[in-house]
Amino acid sequence: MSSLHVTQFQAGSGEGTLVLLHGFPVDSRMWAPMSAEIDPGWQVLGVDLPGLGGSFDTLPESPSIAVAAELVRESVAPYIAEIAPVVYGGLSMGGYVLFEVLQRFHKDIAGAIFLDTRVNADDQETAAKRLKIADDALASGNAEVVLGMASGTLSESNVHARPELVEFMKSLIETQTGEGIAWSQRAMASRRDGSATLGSFAKPSLVIVGADDHVSSPQVMRSLAQELSDVRFTEIPDAGHMSPVEQPGRVAGVINEFLDQVLAITRT
């Protein structure tokens, strides 16, 4: 299998590594503003998931979130060889990939951050909608069918008050290919429920949700948090589904506190 594109947002000074997995239909560029505020001691990596961003030409034959997780693990391995502890963070689709990463490689992971995501698999209706979007994206060859998500994933107040955020999201979505959109939708449609994985993950976890997230609401995220044994829950004001894009400083602040907690535990 070929590797995924990895962006090293900062090299850090050896404290640990934070691996970030982006949402749909964007790529790791969504993390740029937030990464700039992460504790400079930490290495920060953003992985472009299959078919998206710099991984546009990595399209394994069977679309699958589990395959994406295997590729993530293989792609970050050269960066994290000597920079532990390793903490993973995944937003929405990136969270689905994170469930599979934890399922397979939890022994090597010191902490997990779940942002604006959901633990349950799709019902039939949602899966069918995804397959239709996949077909439409392939037919057009571009990301037009999901361009509405530029504003649809932000909080309504940010859409009105901060048009630059909508433009930023658009600029990320517009560069995706029809093949990448289709692969991601098919992979998400066939993913499994992550509850069992969460129930057996005993390391520190952080759950972050935008207060105005209507895709994976605070209520949905609270029940996700209840499945974890060692968890902090934070609701971010003035943010929707793209909380790290909408409030990069606030989200980074919460993550920095969590990284300190992970360091304290791993050093005892």
**Closest residue by Cα to residue 40 from 77, 13, 7:** 13
Give the containing element (helix H, strand E) for 66: helix 65-80
Residue 156 C-alpha from the chain's centroid: 21
Residue 214 C-alpha from the chain's centroid: 17
**Token reading at 5:** 């594109």
DSSP strand pairing (231-236 vs 86-91): unpaired
Q: Which amino acid is residue 161, in one-letter code?
A: A
Residue that has been written with the tokens 């589904």 in this structure? 241
Shortest Å, Cβ 198 to ligand MLT: 17
Give the containing element (helix H, strand E) for 8: strand 6-10
Shortest Å, Cβ 22 to ligand MLT: 8
Quick one: 58 or 153, whose CB is closer to ligand MLT? 153
Shortest Å, Cβ 130 to ligand MLT: 7
Quick one: 42 or 56, whose CB is closer to ligand MLT? 56
Quick one: 215 or 265, whose CB is closer to ligand MLT? 215
Shortest Å, Cβ 182 to ligand MLT: 13
Contact 113, 88 (CB under 8 A): yes
Quick one: 30 or 263, whose CB is closer to ligand MLT? 30
Applying CB under 6 A, the residues found at the interface with ligand MLT are: 23-24, 92-93, 153, 188, 215, 241
Residue 28 C-alpha from the chain's centroid: 9
Phi-psi region of 116 (alpha: psi -120 to 50; beta: other; left: phi over 0): left
Quick one: 169 or 225, whose CB is closer to ligand MLT? 169
Quick one: 93 or 109, whose CB is closer to ligand MLT? 93
Give, to the nearest 10 degrees, the angle between helix 178-189 and helix 93-105: 60
DSSP strand pairing (42-47 vs 6-10): antiparallel
Shortest Å, Cβ 23 to ligand MLT: 3
Shortest Å, Cβ 230 to ligand MLT: 25
